[in-house]
Structure 1
Amino acid sequence: MTHKIIVAGCGGMSNTWLDYAIQRENAEIVGLVDIFEESAKAMAAKKGLNVPTFTDLGAALAATGANLVFDVTIPASHKTIAITAMQAGCNVFGEKPMAESFADAKEIVEVSQATGKRYSVMQNRRYNKQIRSYRDMVGSGSIGTIGSIHADFFLGAHFGGFRDAMDNPLIIDMAIHTFDQARFITGADPVSVYCHEFNPPGSWYAGNASAICIYEMSDGSVFTYRGSWCADGLNTSWESDWRVTGSKGGARWDGATMPYGEIVNPEKAEGFIREMLRIEGQEVYDGQEGHWGCLDEMFAALEAGRPAETDCLDNIKSVAMVFGAVESARTGQKVML
């Protein structure tokens, strides 16, 4: 199978996607699309690509015979790009979040189901050896039944550009990663959310760049999220700082090093503060990490005729966590998902 790829959007993230496609043996870039055609031309020159450039995706699809679209545009464009591509007979791999609203995301899923075309979402933070090890530790039963999962995310990210002007920059553009990670680590899906969103003193964002969220999950556990994108100093990793509590112990992951845990020593199970035994995460994942690992999975799924791990049919549940949190913050009420 040869993948003939149109890349829509020629901003910073397109570098990663293009580099991956260029090195893939059964992939061919057949065109670049950007509302500013000079940006597309500049990217083609930068990557040494002798391909046509366009300002309209429909025209690019008609002219090139592409069968796959990389959507690396801003969130506001995702719905139009995805639906245009799928209705033209193309599969789509897109940057997160799936769409700018939950209604748009649901429409994308409906079009994917109606056309039989796949729409897979970049959730690159599922793809590193540490989170795979952490998921295995939590899922092994070593710490018992999961009671709660907690994630802290604190970074001072001075992007400039569209994020600085968004109403909900943290929740919509970044927290989708952490919410999706929580589902990945526990294997549970969201049931409800209560969110308090705010913009702290010193913030350089127009919209709310900090939030605290409480989710009830389908396995009966509770997931809490504390995050800020305007926290200068004492930063966590981009992967967040995690703690899972279970009926027999707990597991920690700082987002940067291998996870570890502590479980009750079965030989000394009594006492006010019980004696614990340390357990270490095992390094078993040998795939590529980050964006390239997620793209490997997207292509492998497409070639096998199955949904990718981050197919829109699954990712819509992570998207629901995002827009449920936004709705809860807006109304001050718990929102059922």
Structure 2
Amino acid sequence: MTHRTIPGDEPLRVVLAGAGSMGRAWLSTIVAAPDVELVAVADIDPDTARSATAAAGWPDLPVGADAVALAATTGAHAVVDATVPEAHHPVTTAALFAGLAVLGEKPVAATLAQALSLAAAAEVTGELFMVSQSRRWNPQLFALRAMAADLGALGTLTTEFFRAPRFGGFREEMAHPLLVDMAIHPFDSARFVLGAEPVAAYCEAYNPSWSWYDGAAAATAVFEMEGGIRYVYTGSWCSPGAETSWNGVWRVSGEKGSARWDGDTGPVLDADVLPAERSPSPYSGIAGALQVFAEALRTGSTPMGEVHENVLSLAMVEAAVRSAESGRRVLIDDVLDQAHEQALREETHADVRAALAGWTSVRSALTA
């Protein structure tokens, strides 16, 4: 998809929306980024925004409740949306229709239907909307993907994730805290490592007897991926002892051997092949996502994480939840089609609804 660009001889001027814990991480990242200028911070509570800017050493930075209004007064090119997931759809929609590019935190939206709406809004406005899946911008994950390419035909990819965090608050009250709040990271990374999209999901989610969560804090999901590859995710958020990396522990199995990654150090290739020489990734974390976003706005290139490319990661989450609740194998295309119908019912922008209605295949619209 083509999108508007900005001149390469001026800094990328950014308004940060959301000044909570994730917003503060983005604030320091934006301030430190070369050729990027933070011009304002918005939050539903302007005092929270003011506190964040003061703590960062920028007490005179403009703050307010409306990111679009701040962008208009400061000449911003883009919005970094670090608001809560429920706010992603209204904040990003308003920014796109105001002529602003958006770099958003995961998940793309609170629901898959809203995610499809945002993809269509990006098409209608011609603005770039990129989702920052921070763990995909991990140089070690790039190295694992490169090793996977050396293994010939692939059969299985696995992720094991076992932690025991005591968050308190909303996560401990969610119906599916592990799948909805955390598993989107490895699901998204699996798509990247395999270079393949999901076809179907079967998942069992449960809550161990000792769990301090109200909902299902443990799950095992099996995804059929394109080409017949299987991706298997097993995880728990109430598993004390021998905890894995926050990235999980990974194994890729192919016809020529295997590759393993402990999530914290470089991956290891165990195969009788001569690895192809590849340059290491220059990007890392949310700083890498911001760098790629800025480069895309200057060159017109389509970045990894552009909204259409990202939506299928959220579809994997929704399919896993549906399978866990129904006890049945769920087709990804069925999940996409039902979300598309919901998006058409809920859409309030006539031109966005028309764009959605023009999608004869949701998968094709997302992967073209």
* Structure 1 residues 7-55: Cα deviation after superposition (integer angstroms, max 9, x where no partner): 1111112232112211234322222111222111100111122222212
For 1:211 and 1:43, locate their aligned partners in 2 and report how far apart those are by CA, in whole Å: 36
CA distance in 2, matches of 1:66, 1:166: 36
2:68 and 2:132 mapped to 1: Cα distance? 23
What is the aligned counterpart of 1:165 among 173, 180, 184?
A: 173
SS at match of 1:13: helix
Q: Deviations over 1:119-152 (max 9, x none)?
A: 1111121222321111111112xx3310111111
* CA–CA distance in structure 2, aligned partners of residues 229 and 118 of structure 1: 35
* Matching of residue 84 in structure 1 with residue 94 in structure 2: yes
C-alpha separation in 2, matches of 1:160 and 1:61: 35
Paired with 2:77 and 2:275, the residues of 1 have a C-alpha distance of: 44
* CA displacement at 1:58 relative to structure 2: 4.0
- Per the TM alignment, residue 203 of structure 1 is displaced from its structure 2 partner at its CA by 2.2
Distance 1:214 1:197 in 2: 12
Is 1:186 the counterpart of 2:199 in the alignment? Answer: no
2:144 aligned with 1:134: yes
- CA distance, structure 2, for counterparts of residue 256 and residue 278 of structure 1: 24
Alignment-mate amino acid for residue 317 of structure 2: V
How many corresponding residue pairs?
322
Q: Tell me which moved more, 28-37 or 314-323.
A: 28-37
Amino acid in structure 2 at the alignment position of 1:99: A
Task: Give ranges in structure 1 of 5+ residues lacking alignment.
Answer: 264-276
Separation in 1, partners of 2:35, 2:255: 48
Gaps of 5+ in 2: 1-9, 333-368
Distance 1:101 1:151 in 2: 24
1:242 and 1:281 map into 2 onto residues whose CA distance is 21
For structure 1, which segment, 185-194 or 250-259, has the greater mean C-alpha deviation from structure 2 after superposition? 250-259
Structure 2 residue matching 1:183: 3-state secondary structure: helix
Q: What TM-score do the two structures reach when normalised by structure 2?
A: 0.82
Residues 142, 281 of structure 2: 8 Å contact kept: no
Distance 2:75 2:168 in 1: 36
Q: 2:311 aligns with which of 295, 313, 316?
A: 316
Per-residue Cα deviation, 1:172-228 (whole angstroms, up to 9, x for no partner): 221111001101111011001011112222322232221110100012101110011
Distance 2:180 2:97 in 1: 26
- RMSD of aligned C-alpha atoms? 2.0
Say yes or no: does 1:26 pair with 2:21.
no
Partner of 1:237: 245
Q: 1:163 to 1:282 in 2, by over 3 A?
A: farther
Aligned letter for 1:208? Answer: A
Q: CA deviation at 1:59?
A: 3.3
Query: How far apart, CA to CA, are the structure 2 residues paired with 1:84 and 1:192?
Result: 34
Q: Decide which structure has greater helix share.
A: 2
Does the 8 A contact of 2:219 with 2:236 survive in 1?
yes
